[in-house]
Amino acid sequence: MKFGLERFLEDPALRAPLAGRRVALLAHPASVTRDLTHALDALAALPDLRLTAAFGPQHGLRGDKQDNMVESSDFTDPRLGIPVFSLYGTVRRPTDAMMDSFDVLLVDLQDLGCRIYTFITTLRYVLEAAAASAKAVWVLDRPNPAGRPIEGLTLREGWESFVGAGPMPMRHGLTLGELGRWFIAHLGLRLEYRVIEMQGWQPEAAPGFGWPVERSWVNPSPNAANLSMARAYAGTVMLEGTALSEGRGTTRPLELFGAPGIDTRRLLADMRQLAPDWLAGCRLRECWFEPTFHKHAGQLCAGIQIHMEDPTHYDHAAFKPWRLQALAFKALRRQAPDDPLWRDFAYEYEHDRLAIDLINGSPLLRQWVDDPTAPPTALDALAAADEQAWRAARQPFLLYE
């Protein structure tokens, strides 16, 4: 198969509409060709392309920032001599001066298929800016490594944020190019928009179910270390809003969770008793880990690792990472009802709303966890309705059937 970047590089006819126009690139470390050449270098080598600027999202164009909420600065690329603007620095939305640096913006970002992943918010912001300034946006499309499944509550009105780009479930099941089509329709934008589609993407094919496993994996963000993380992320990202470690400071971030003093055997038993169907499609293993930094650094944590590597254990259609992680919170509340679970801090610079609510796009999940009388069927009913509605809403924007 070929990614959008590779088709764009190989076919001059795809580039012909850019003749005489100034071109910019929005990219990050995973914006590479199959031979692992970065998109900025590959595009700069094209004699028929006039590259005048570049943009980096959260964590930077080349990947210079390791943790969340660490900003990047603008700079001049030392090889090409063009400005590189940060969209996770003093601004999140491109300024008029930034927009004046190009006519067409090429977007080549590897997404993880999860609403909270900030690259899709950055896509929304550049689409809005392009519509306001009569600029064009072309997406060089890439796979959604989490595939087509849909899961989670839809973000409620008024809960938009940098980690909540719009009313979609946590697992949206779209590629970045398809998401751009949906944003344009949802927001009523008018602009030149084009998707350079992938060739041969098969999101239902084993063993990758969205990710072509013959391709090298390059971390799109520092803690997105492999395909297993991408599959689990729609659930484990919620740990960022809790006192539990999500494994930052270990070699398997966002594939495991834990904290000092947890009775993991009881935790697993309670999860199986409460909603055994929510544990399908993977294997859960008791584990112990000591983060070298971040939450519980230097402390021994008892936890659970989610395993999706073995094809005899992994069931792509059955695996529900958002429900699995929600169930773990519910079981932990049963085990230690008075322990502080929800982390109160300025998550993504938001000071007046709890991080867990920002992550979920409403207080609904937190309220379900905290209500000892609320059964799993109550959350399931809410989520199932949202998932069904999104399945219909996204249909017109699919490019790969």
Question: What is the CATH number for 335?
Answer: 3.90.1150.140
90/71 same-domain check: yes
Residue 66 pLDDT: 53
Asked whether residue 386 carries a pLDDT value surpassing 70, the answer given is: yes
Residue 68 CB coordination number (10 Å): 17
Asked whether residue 71 carries a pLDDT value surpassing 60, the answer given is: no
Residue 60 pLDDT: 83
Residue 42 pLDDT: 97
204/242 same-domain check: no
47/108 same-domain check: yes
Residue 334 pLDDT: 94
184/300 same-domain check: no
Query: Which of 271, 289, 253, 376 has its CA nearest to residue 328?
Result: 271
In terms of residue numbers, what domain contains 241? 227-370
CA angle (148 as vertex; 143, 150 as ends), nearest 5: 130
69/189 same-domain check: yes
Summarised one tens digit per residue, pLDDT across range 301-340 is: 999 999 999 999 999 999 999 999 999 999 999 999 988 9
80/130 same-domain check: yes
Asked whether residue 67 carries a pLDDT value surpassing 70, the answer given is: no
pTM of the predicted protein model = 0.95
Q: What's the whole-number mean pLDDT along residues 26-55?
A: 97
d(CA 75, CA 4): 27
- Look up the CATH number of the domain holding residue 176: 3.40.50.12170
Q: Rg for the chain (alpha carbons), in Å?
A: 21
Residue 64 pLDDT: 60
60/14 same-domain check: yes
18/68 same-domain check: yes
Residue 382 is assigned to a structural domain of this protein: no
190/330 same-domain check: no
Band (pLDDT 50/70/90 cuts) for residue 347 is confident
Give the chain's domain count.
2
79/36 same-domain check: yes
Task: Give me the percent of the chain exceeding a pLDDT of 90.
Answer: 90
Average pLDDT, the chain: 95
Residue 386 is assigned to a structural domain of this protein: no
Summarised one tens digit per residue, pLDDT across range 88-141 is: 888 999 999 999 999 999 999 999 999 999 999 999 999 999 999 999 999 999
